[in-house]
């Protein structure tokens, strides 16, 4: 390969050491379309080595007290924070997100994930009951499961990897993690910090590669009793099939087709900029992004005019531009997929008010082959359109009017997903009524993406199985047993 010597070459991290691979994949810079990195194309052999390392490390790591494990997580958080700028630069280049978002959200949240679970592991309690009439005392205890298989996506690479690694090792498990082959760099960088943080060899193993090769080898391995996955529904179906013969514990955080419901008494000065952000942040490549906007008819025209105007102010630029609101999409294939939805909307008779095919995108010459597109607003579209039912996972949102509260709840719930929703109203009673009836695991009212990590995170219906958060993650990464003492 021409220019191979100049490429960044990653290695797997197994048993505390970086291990080269026999085969590599090309990884592209989304802002230029150029190959800039080589990622291991691992398979069964690397998974076997990782399982052996994780198995050997489990007795010692699980025997440590929660306090001892907490100290290690705190040290790792400190080291990540000290490398914040380096990690942010790498994340921005690897994923295509803006440097501003990487600096202010992705890497700080990755640090917070370790700090949060370092603290929460110290505060879990167990249950105890007495049966005096038979002279028995019952209590519960939790123990780590063993080797945890962790599969994280490409949209928030280090953010979502650490969201899994931190609670897993805090609970005393050892882990084998597979980041997305499209965005592997920050996971590799984190591995360089593990020994300095005091993480023993074999406790955290990172194996890079594709889903069909390394992902399936991990999921189907009989000595990996637990899989935590964030990604698409088709991949989750495959994971479920492979896990079924082994009765594995599964946590599946999948997609969304998230509605925003904007009532006539909404404060549009707050609603419009927040809804632009909720629609297009991270190029719309967040499972929580808004892709269906329902606006009450009496304010529909006003909202639409102001929303389109605000969307056009959302600057698309190269990821390293601190003033850019949006960077590049993850890959050429994904960009083409997102654009295909806009073409379908046009053939259905929908109107494209701004963005793709309407406005002009200006980029520097070296970025002309990058995977950029403008934030796009679609209207005059029917609820049964694929653009209103399928997860596009890009900077595209649909705006439609509604009449009544009952009607909009039914329409919001009409898709197979149920991850998140936002409701905008100044009527507290209405907010409570609507939030209760929405089939969504998360409902934000008059805001978006304000997270309390103690509380459950996850979706209903095809948006996943299980929840993540302080209590939920601890329960998932441990097994509970009931002990009865006759006295």
Positions annotated as catalytic residues are 253
Element at 400 (helix H, strand E)? strand 396-402
Rounded to whole angstroms, how far apart are CA atoms 96 and 319? 6
User: Looking at residue 22, what DSSP letter applies?
Assistant: S
Is residue 307 within 8 Å of residue 377, measured between CB atoms? Answer: yes
Report yes or no: 135 and 444 within 8 Å, Cβ to Cβ. no
Give 479's strand partners: 143
Q: How many other C-beta atoms lie within 10 A of the C-beta of residue 74?
A: 16
Three-class DSSP category at 15: coil
User: Measuring CA to CA, which residue among 413, 423, 399 is closest to residue 295?
Assistant: 399
- Asked if 80 and 50 count as a contact pair (C-beta separation under 8 A), the reply is no
The per-residue DSSP string of 199-256 comes to PPTTSEEE--S-IIIIIHHHHT-TT--EEEEES-HHHHHHHHHHHGGGT-EEEEE---
Q: Which of 39, 18, 9 is nearest to 154 (CA)?
A: 39
* Residue 245: count of CB within 10 angstroms of its CB: 9
Contacts of 205 (CB under 8 A, 6+ apart): 12, 13, 14, 15, 50, 53, 54, 174, 175, 176, 177
CA gap 398, 451 in Å, rounded: 25
What's the rounded Cα separation, in Å, for the pair 219 and 256? Answer: 24
The CA distances from residue 484 to 125, 131, 142, 163, in Å, are 17, 10, 15, 35
Distance CA 466, CA 464 (A): 7
List Cβ neighbours of 158 (8 Å cut-off, separation of 6 or more): 87, 91, 106, 107, 110, 186, 187, 190
Alpha helices in 102-183 (DSSP H): 107-120, 157-170
**Encoding tokens for residue 184?**
């592997």
Residue 227: other Cβ atoms inside 10 A: 25
Number of Cβ within 10 Å of residue 455's Cβ equals 12
DSSP-based helix, strand, coil % in the chain, nearest 5: 45, 25, 35
């Amino acid at each position: 390969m021409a220019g191979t010597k100049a490429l960044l070459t990653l290695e797997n991290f197994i048993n505390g050491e970086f291990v080269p691979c026999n085969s590599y994949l090309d990884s592209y810079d989304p802002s230029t379309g150029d190959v800039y990195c080589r990622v291991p194309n691992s398979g069964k052999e690397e998974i076997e080595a990782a399982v052996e390392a994780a198995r050997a490390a489990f007795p010692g790591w699980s025997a440590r007290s929660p306090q001892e494990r907490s100290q290690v997580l705190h040290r790792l958080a400190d080291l990540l924070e000290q490398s914040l700028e380096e990690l942010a630069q790498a994340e921005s280049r690897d994923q295509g997100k803006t440097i501003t978002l990487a600096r202010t959200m992705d890497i700080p949240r990755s640090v917070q994930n370790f700090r949060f679970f370092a603290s929460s592991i110290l505060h879990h309690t167990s249950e105890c009951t007495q049966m005096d009439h038979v002279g028995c005392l019952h209590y519960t205890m939790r123990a780590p499961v063993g080797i945890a298989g962790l599969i994280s996506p490409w949209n928030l690479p280090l953010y979502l990897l650490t969201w899994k690694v931190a609670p897993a090792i805090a609970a005393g498990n050892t882990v084998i993690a597979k980041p997305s082959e499209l965005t592997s760099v920050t996971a590799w960088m984190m591995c360089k910090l593990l020994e300095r943080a005091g993480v023993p060899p074999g406790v955290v193993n990172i194996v890079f590669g594709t889903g069909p090769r390394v992902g399936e080898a991990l999921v189907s391995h009989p000595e990996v009793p637990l899989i935590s996955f964030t990604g698409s529904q088709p991949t989750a179906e495959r994971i479920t099939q492979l896990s079924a013969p082994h009765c594995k514990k599964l946590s599946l955080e999948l997609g969304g087709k998230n509605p925003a419901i904007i009532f006539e008494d909404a404060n549009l000065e707050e609603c419009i900029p927040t809804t632009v952000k909720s629609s297009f942040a991270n190029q719309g490549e967040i499972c929580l992004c808004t892709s269906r906007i329902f606006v009450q008819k009496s304010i529909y025209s006003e909202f639409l005019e102001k929303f389109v105007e605000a969307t056009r102010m959302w600057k698309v630029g190269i990821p390293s531009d601190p003033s850019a609101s949006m960077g590049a999409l993850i890959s050429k294939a994904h960009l083409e997929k997102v654009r295909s939805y806009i073409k379908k909307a046009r053939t259905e008779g929908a109107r494209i008010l701004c963005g793709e095919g309407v406005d002009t995108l200006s980029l520097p010459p070296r970025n002309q082959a990058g995977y950029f597109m403008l934030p796009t607003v679609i209207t005059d579209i029917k609820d049964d359109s694929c653009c209103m039912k399928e997860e596009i996972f890009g900077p595209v949102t649909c705006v439609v009017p509604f009449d009544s509260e009952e009607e909009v709840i039914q329409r919001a719930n009409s898709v197979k997903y149920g991850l998140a929703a936002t409701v905008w109203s100044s009527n507290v009673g209405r907010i409570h009524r609507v939030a209760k009836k929405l089939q969504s695991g998360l409902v934000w009212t008059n805001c978006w993406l304000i997270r309390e990590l103690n509380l459950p995170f996850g979706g209903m219906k095809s948006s996943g199985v299980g929840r993540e958060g302080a209590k939920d993650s601890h329960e998932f990464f441990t097994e509970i047993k009931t002990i009865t003492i006759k006295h």
